[in-house]
Amino acid sequence: MESRSGDELLRIGVFSNLSRISVRMLRHYQDNGILEPDSVDPYTGHRYYRAEQLVTAHWVVAMRDAGLPVADIAQALIHRDNPERLRELLTHQRRRIAAERERVVNLENAFDRINTYLQESPMDINVRTETLSAHTVAAIRRIIPTYSDEGALWSELSNLLPVSTAVPSPHGLGGATFYDAEFREADVDVEVWLQVEAPFVAVAPLACQVPAVDVVMATLKGGYEGLPEVTAAIGAYIAANGLETGTMSNIYRVSPAQNPDPATWVTEVCFPIHS
């Protein structure tokens, strides 16, 4: 880069103080085509900036503080006269921030569960084998993004029932069956079902089933953070009795849909026994 007199320019240290960007980061931004000095002395290597470049620098600081990656900051400066492209970049960053916020909330919840586990006495868990009698259910099965997206299946089932001939039982049970042979981080195979009054003509994606099965079962009372203790007890029971079992199902005797207070929830955790 050609040298020019520094009389009308700001040396990098002064520019750093005025812009609130460290000299190290100014050099990094230069390497990425974001804030290039007006000139560089070929003998000393000193960098000089125009005063009006402080406007750009302040924009860079604002985008940096909003968490935009260097590549996006460079794109924003290239498209500074294109409001539509700028909005697209900022919207993308807002989505990243929302995802990070959700991740942090999940970490906080996990930390709270650890504290609860350390402070509370272990639950009294009664593991037993039972035969679930046959009952007619309306069911819908989907591949959903994660286990926490189960609520979307319940919404879909709720929307389909009125347009079918299925009539929910006034005091019927509801539940979920998890078909994957192992725990999955994503794309999980889940079915939700609701007990209905009588068999009905099933129209896809709604299905009519009449299940009857022997299961290993334990009752979870309270929030789902207690599920690991229940599954540990069930696992010990399965191993001690040499049982072959299928994938897990939950029967929601008192669910979040019935009462928002986790202390009132009652869930039967079941594993079907294979003969």
pLDDT in tens, 30-65: 999 999 999 998 888 899 999 999 999 999 999 999
Pair 151, 260 in one domain: yes
Mean pLDDT along residues 183-209: 87
Mean pLDDT along residues 187-199: 92
Pair 139, 268 in one domain: yes
Pair 56, 139 in one domain: no
Pair 140, 211 in one domain: yes
Strand-pairing partners, residue 272, are 215
Answer yes or no: is 188 within a domain.
yes
Could you tell me the two tokens for 117?
Answer: 């586990």
- pLDDT at 159 > cutoff 50: yes
pLDDT in tens, 116-151: 666 665 667 899 999 988 888 999 999 999 999 999
Answer yes or no: is 61 within a domain.
yes
- At 208, which CATH number? 3.20.80.10
Answer yes or no: is 117 within a domain.
no
Answer yes or no: is 142 within a domain.
yes
Task: Supply the range of the domain harboring residue 200.
Answer: 128-274
Pair 165, 254 in one domain: yes
Number of domains the chain contains: 2
Pair 66, 133 in one domain: no
Number of other CB atoms surrounding residue 40 within 10 Å? 18
pLDDT in tens, 225-254: 888 889 999 999 999 999 999 999 999 999
Could you tell me the two tokens for 98?
Answer: 């929302």
C-alpha radius of gyration, the chain, whole number: 30
Pair 189, 260 in one domain: yes
Answer yes or no: is 153 within a domain.
yes
3-state secondary structure of 25: helix
Predicted local confidence at residue 122, as pLDDT:
62
Mean pLDDT along residues 74-78: 88
Binned at pLDDT 50, 70 and 90, residue 207 comes out as: confident
Backbone torsion region of residue 20, taken as left when φ is above 0, otherwise alpha when ψ lies between -120 and 50, otherwise beta = left
Pair 269, 154 in one domain: yes
Pair 59, 147 in one domain: no
Answer yes or no: is 104 within a domain.
no
Q: What percent of the chain has pLDDT over 90?
A: 53
For tokens 């979307």, name the residue.
Answer: 152
- At 40, which CATH number? 1.10.1660.10
